[in-house]
Amino acid sequence: MKYYDKLIFELSKPGRTGYSLPENEYGRCLCCELPEGLKRAQAPELPEVSEIDVVRHYTNLSQMNFGVDTGFYPLGSCTMKYNPKINEEIAAIPGFNGLHPLQPASTVPGALAVYEGMDKALAAITGMAHFTFLPCAGAHGELTGLMIMRQYHMSRGDLARTKVIVPDSAHGTNPASAAVCGLEIVEVKSNANGLVDVEDLKPLLGPEIAGIMMTNPNTLGLFEKEIKEIAALVHECGGLLYYDGANMNPLLGVVRPGDMGFDIMHLNLHKTFSTPHGGGGPGSGPVGVAQHLAKFLPETRVSGFNGNFGVILRAYAYILALGRQNIKFAGKFATLSANYIKECLKDKYKLPIPSICKHEFVYDGLINDGADKAEDGHGATTLDVAKRLLDFGFHAPTIYFPLLFHQALMIEPTETESKETIDEFIGVMRRIADEAAADPMILRNAPHNTPIRRPDETTAARQPILKYGDQ
Ligand SMILES: *Cc1c(COP(=O)(O)O)cnc(C)c1O
């Protein structure tokens, strides 16, 4: 263990401090002047350390972490694209940065112009009429959108519509949001090509259906080619179509959900529109609706004030920087990168659905050509592949999702990686497949050179050590 791997509490020395405050003219420091009633009874249990201890502590912690700024991050369904630094500069402009949410609207015309500009830009990109910027995440947008859907049916006195159709390939948040909204979930199956099975859908439609939730391209990265027919069928039965726009990246500037027939949708600004995400930080999931639903857009109560303004601002800077002409290249290059990787590795990894993908695709583990060895991929699983990737400085892809395959390995490279980086990733993935064939123990014991090796995932989830001294 390096000396700086110690916890900050272990570095603590009584009396050591990183600051010194001047005394006032009476020889007392400012905190002594607090009224007795306001002082805490006991001193807080804070580590006593010098400034350099603090700097090293946080700098070293930051280096144990992994982010888009440190390496390739092909996490499927998450769109971990690069977050251009110009967005950060714009968000740091004092006129934006220093706003208070309770300021009168007349004093914040610039911020209002950002909301207005975003509303127009997103309407142009998606084919929706208007957006609300209150929701602070994708799932939050789903819930908001479903409440709009329910409100629409209720406003027409159509109270029987309590069920929502969700494909078996859907992101887990879809059925979860529907359940939170009080709707019953009806699952529609995928066909052998990984697309919604229209024949399976037809008998599900009827007077109890509030609508369908779809993402297109779906979570397998495949474009739902029959979306027009699906939209007609759902509308015919009186339902609405909800578009989970977290997967909008490959369609940017190319295809619009509004033109596919969707009535309500959300976007994940923290994915498609390049604002930082991960670790549960601030996000933004604006919800857009077609004109006939505009009156159901919420004005308050979905979240505090006007959503996460800083995130919305970063996304606006991104959209304006790319502009109408260039935004379509984002999706096209994201699609090209994904298909390139998919084709380059399909002799080493099982590709259950071989068709052209959009921004992401799914392998079903290693190809098992060593039948005399263990059942799956020479005894090495998708988890082992993911762990071994860490040794080479790559973030792991999404694993064991979607649930349609047992060894799912879902890769989304995004448009912001160079061909060189992508080729390096392909090279490492090939090497890992070869290691699995030659000596699977290399994978089973990976990672070998990360700060933390392989924790017991069950214990880590069931008995997490969440505070100092728990161990
Ligand atoms: C990421 C994602 C979501 C959820 O978004 P959050 O911001 O994490 O709540 C929903 N659907 C799909 C398809 C996603 O990829």
Pairing of strands 287-289, 130-132: antiparallel
Q: How far is the CA of 113 from the centre of ligand 1 (A)?
A: 27
The predicted pLDDT at position 154 comes to: 97
Span 287-333, pLDDT tens digits: 999 999 999 999 988 998 889 999 999 999 999 999 999 999 999 99
Same domain, 297 and 406: no
CB of 137 within 6 A of ligand 1: the answer is yes
Alpha carbon 397 to its chain's center:
13
Q: Are 179 and 31 within one domain?
A: no
Q: Using the mean position of ligand 1's atoms as its centre, give its distance from the Cα of residue 337 in Å.
A: 21
Q: How far is CA 164 from the centre of its chain?
A: 23
- Do 342 and 315 fall within a single domain? no
User: Is the pLDDT score of 218 beyond 80?
Assistant: yes
Amino acid at 114: V
Nearest residue to 421 (alpha-carbon basis) of 459, 382, 456, 395: 395
Compute the mean pLDDT over every residue in the chain, rounded to the nearest whole number: 92
248 in ligand 1 pocket by Cβ < 6 Å?
Answer: no
Same-domain status, 271 and 343: no
Q: Indicate the helix (H) or strand (E) that contains 339.
A: helix 309-345
Mutate to test the pocket of ligand 1, among 171, 216, 267, 401 (most ligand atoms within 8 A of CB): 171
Position 370 pLDDT exceeds 70: no
463 within some domain: no
From 290, 322, 354, give the residue that closes a domain.
322
Q: How confident is the model at residue 215 (pLDDT cuts 50, 70, 90)?
A: very high
Q: Are residues 124 and 50 part of one domain?
A: no
Question: What gap in Å lies between CA 51 and CA 180, rounded to an integer?
Answer: 47
DSSP conformation class of 160: T
> 63: pLDDT confidence band, cut at 50, 70 and 90?
confident
CA geometry: angle 414, 243, 119, nearest 5 deg: 80
* Total number of domains constituting the chain: 3
Confidence band of 26 (pLDDT split at 50, 70, 90): confident
16 lies in the same domain as 118: no
Neighbour tally for 440: CB within 10 Å: 20
Name the residue range of residue 351's domain.
329-458
Residue 344 lies in a domain: yes
At 74, which amino acid appears? P
Q: Taking Cα atoms as reference points, which of 249, 279, 234 lies closest to residue 395?
A: 279
CA distance 286 to 7: 40
Phi, psi of 188 (to 5 degrees): -110, 140
Flag whether pLDDT at 134 surpasses 90: yes
Task: Please give the distance, rounded to the nearest whole angstrom, from the Cα atom of residue 59 to the centre of ligand 1.
Answer: 30
pLDDT (0 to 100) of residue 379 = 82
Q: Residue 338 corresponds to which amino acid?
A: A
Residue 415's pLDDT band (boundaries 50, 70, 90)?
very high
CA atoms 132, 134, 140, 144: torsion sign: negative
- Has residue 437 been placed in a domain? yes
The tokens for 174 are 């879809």
47 and 180 within one domain: no
Residue 392, CA distances (Å) to 226, 388, 425, 447 in order = 41, 7, 9, 9
**In terms of Cα–Cα distance, which of 340, 163, 146, 142 is closest to 247?**
142
Considering the domain architecture, whether residues 317 and 290 belong to the same structural domain is answered as yes
Query: How much is the pLDDT for 373?
Result: 55
Asked whether residue 72 is domain-assigned, the answer is no
In a shared domain, residues 271 and 340: no
pLDDT for residue 372: 47
For residue 84, give every residue at least 6 positions away whose Cβ sits within 8 Å of its Cβ, in sequence order, or none. 274, 317, 318, 321
34 domain residue, yes or no: yes
pLDDT digits (tens, 9 = 90+) for 257-294: 999 999 999 999 999 999 999 877 789 999 999 999 99
Domain at 452, CATH number = 3.90.1150.10
403 and 313 fall within a common domain: no
| Alpha carbons 429 and 380: distance in angstroms, whole number | 13
Each residue of 140-199: pLDDT tens digit?
Answer: 999 999 999 999 999 999 999 999 999 998 999 999 999 999 999 999 999 999 999 999
pLDDT range class, residue 39, cuts 50, 70, 90: confident
Confidence class of residue 31 from pLDDT cuts 50, 70 and 90? Answer: low
395 and 317 in a common domain: no
| 265 in any annotated domain | yes
- Which CATH number fits the domain that encloses residue 151? 3.40.640.10
Are residues 167 and 290 part of one domain?
yes
What is the per-residue pLDDT for 375?
A: 56
Q: What is the distance between the terminal CA atoms of the chain, rounded to a whole angstrom? A: 17
Tokens encoding 56: 């090293």
Calculate how far, in angstroms, residue 173's C-alpha sits from the geometric centre of ligand 1.
7
* Residue 80 covered by a domain: no
Provide the percentage of residues in the chain whose pLDDT is more than 70: 96
pTM for the structure as a whole: 0.90
Q: Which of 33, 64, 95 is the last residue in one of the domains?
A: 64
Domain boundary (322, 347, 366) is at 322
Tell me if 128 is assigned to some domain.
yes
pLDDT digits (tens, 9 = 90+) for 86-129: 999 999 999 999 999 999 999 999 999 999 999 999 999 999 99
At 471 the pLDDT is 64
13, with CB counted inside 10 A (0-12, 13-18, 19+), is exposed
Q: Reduced to 3 states, what is the DSSP secondary structure of residue 112?
A: helix
